[in-house]
Amino acid sequence: MPVTFCTFVAMSNIKPSLVKGTRDFSPQEMVKRNHIFDTIKTVFKKYGYAEIQTPTMENLSTLTGKYGDEGDKLIFKILNSGDFLSKANPELLANANSQKLISSISEKALRYDLTVPFARYVVMHQNDISLPFKRFQVQPVWRADRPQKGRYREFYQCDVDVVGSDSLLNEAEFVLIYQEALSNLGLKDFTIKLNNRKILSGIAEIIGKPELIIDMTVAIDKLDKIGLDGVSKELLERGFTAADLEKLKPVILLQGSNDEKLNSLRAVLAESATGMNGIAEIETVFRYIKGLLQSNPELNPDLELDITLARGLNYYTGCIFEVKTNEAAMGSIGGGGRYDDLTGMFGLKGLTGVGISFGADRIYDVLLELNLFPESVAAGTKVLISNFDEAAELYALPIVQQLRNANIAAELYPSAAKLKKQMSYADAKNIPFVILIGSDEMQSGELTLKDMHSGQQDKLSLEAIIEKIKD
């Protein structure tokens, strides 16, 4: 039960508030968030990835033009310091032309994702890093989106990428990273979907409409919702012919095991070198995963070849990943893929990369819904020592320190408040044990330990208490 500030008077004329779309995180939320970040980072490290961080602010020119026109509008710009209007074009000022004025009054902006800053990092530090460069990055990003349920203006991204290696072993290991991190978080039923841009290119190529690859994928993706007739109708609207539809049918209706799907695709794509290449890549990834898991047959990722998977199609050039939980109604909780020219935007050509990211905010909501946060995660202070009076306080001073010396998070209530208040404090902070020290305890040296869950009280020596609480 939280103790409130009933004795204080809040002036009604000043009401602080949060910026729309941003959040405070309470101690209870922070331990849960850290549990997610720590679990994911531990797995990243085990697979040889190392952490970097980039600044919150980037030059506006670094970000502009990387996310499309819509993206550019969603970048938070920082007003230049000092007399920022002195450099502004008077005509634009007079016409109140906001969009054209931006570049003359703002040179900096907030990070919009972790990918562009990573590309900048690789280019700027190219002489200091060794390839392949395996990095992870867990930092907030900002988008001036309209806030809504589950969509924030400040949120964390957890990205893990390797640049400078075209080996498909990387793709295979990303599947295992998903498998291990999400399992360690307690998720039991999730599907890791896999696709390859080259398969999609191959299909569009076979039909003779490579330029319609995105229209094709968007339409096929709706099969579950609108059925074959709906998809066919949409494909016709998007510029495909009835003859194209005949060729596409086996692709749209692709089903069965991954092997069965690959067999069907092999027939359809036989004449497309690109398409066959995509199939070969998927097979290689599967082979690597099998090899890696040889000694772990119990780890069997639910891996699904899904050729409707099209996330970031403009961007990805090889494998594409997406993870969906089947235990809660939630969009994807992770995704990624290979991109063949990450650093080209900053003039460094020919560097291939592949990476995935975890949707930490969505994972948080899923774990909460499924009650998957371990109880130990809530543990802050392990034991509170009550404070009855000056003598008891004095007696308690070395005791609280000895508990801390034993690596037990401990507090001595800082004043001789009413016991009820001290107990409420322990309750509100979810402190599992309270040590009560009265005159009996000071005389005998045996302290009263109260278990706040069961209510049980025992008289124990400090050594026994340390032994008991440590477990």
DSSP secondary structure letter of residue 15? -
Contact 426, 455 (CB under 8 A): no
Contact between 467 and a second copy by CB under 8 A: the answer reads: no
Q: Is the CB of 146 or the CB of 468 nearer to a second copy?
A: 146
Binding of a second copy by 103 (CB under 8 A): no
By CB under 8 A, residue 200 contacts a second copy: no
Report the C-alpha gap between 445 and 438 in whole angstroms.
10
Q: Flag whether 166 is marked binding.
A: no
Task: Please state, in angstroms and rounded to a whole number, the distance separating the CA atoms of residues 136 and 122.
Answer: 13
391 binds a second copy (CB under 8 A): no
CB of 413 within 8 A of CB of 436? no
Q: Interface with a second copy by CB under 8 A: which range of 51-59, 307-315, 321-329, 432-440?
A: 51-59
* Contact pick of 36, 39, 40, 105 for a second copy (by CB under 8 A): 105
Alpha helices, H only, 238-295:
242-252, 258-268, 273-292
- Listed ranges 239-247, 322-330, 343-351, 448-456: which one lies at the site for a second copy (CB under 8 A): 343-351
Which positions ≥6 away from 333 have C-beta within 8 Å?
Answer: 182, 190, 323, 324, 325, 358, 359, 362, 363, 366
Q: Is 145 annotated as a binding residue?
A: no
Q: Is 311 annotated as a binding residue?
A: yes
Distance CA(214)–CA(309), nearest Å, equals 11
**Alpha-carbon span 303 to 49, nearest angstrom:** 23
| 161 annotated to bind ligand | yes
Residue of the chain from 165, 183, 191, 284 that contacts a second copy (CB under 8 A): 165
| Rounded Cα gap, residues 329 and 269, in angstroms | 35
Under rule CB under 8 A, residue 170 binds a second copy: yes
Position 373 contacts a second copy (CB under 8 A): no
Interaction of residue 148 with a second copy, rule CB under 8 A: no
Site residues (CB under 8 A) for a second copy, limited to 393-452: 393-394, 397-398, 400-402, 404-405, 407-412, 414-415, 424-425, 428-429
Instruction: With beta carbons less than 8 A apart as the criterion, state whether 93 and 43 touch.
Output: no
Stretch that binds a second copy, among 7-15, 208-216, 365-373, 444-452 (CB under 8 A): 7-15
Q: Scanning residues 280 to 309, which ones bind a second copy (CB under 8 A)?
A: 288, 291-296
- The stretch near a second copy (CB under 8 A) out of 19-27, 300-308, 313-321, 436-444 is 19-27
Burial 318-332 (b: 16+ CB within 10 A, else e): bbbbbbbbeebebeb
In the complex, the smallest distance separating the C-beta of residue 161 from a second copy, rounded to whole angstroms, is: 13
Separation CA 82–CA 79 (nearest Å):
9
Task: Output the smallest distance, CB 273 to a second copy, in A.
Answer: 22
Task: Give bridge partners of residue 352 from the DSSP assignment.
Answer: none
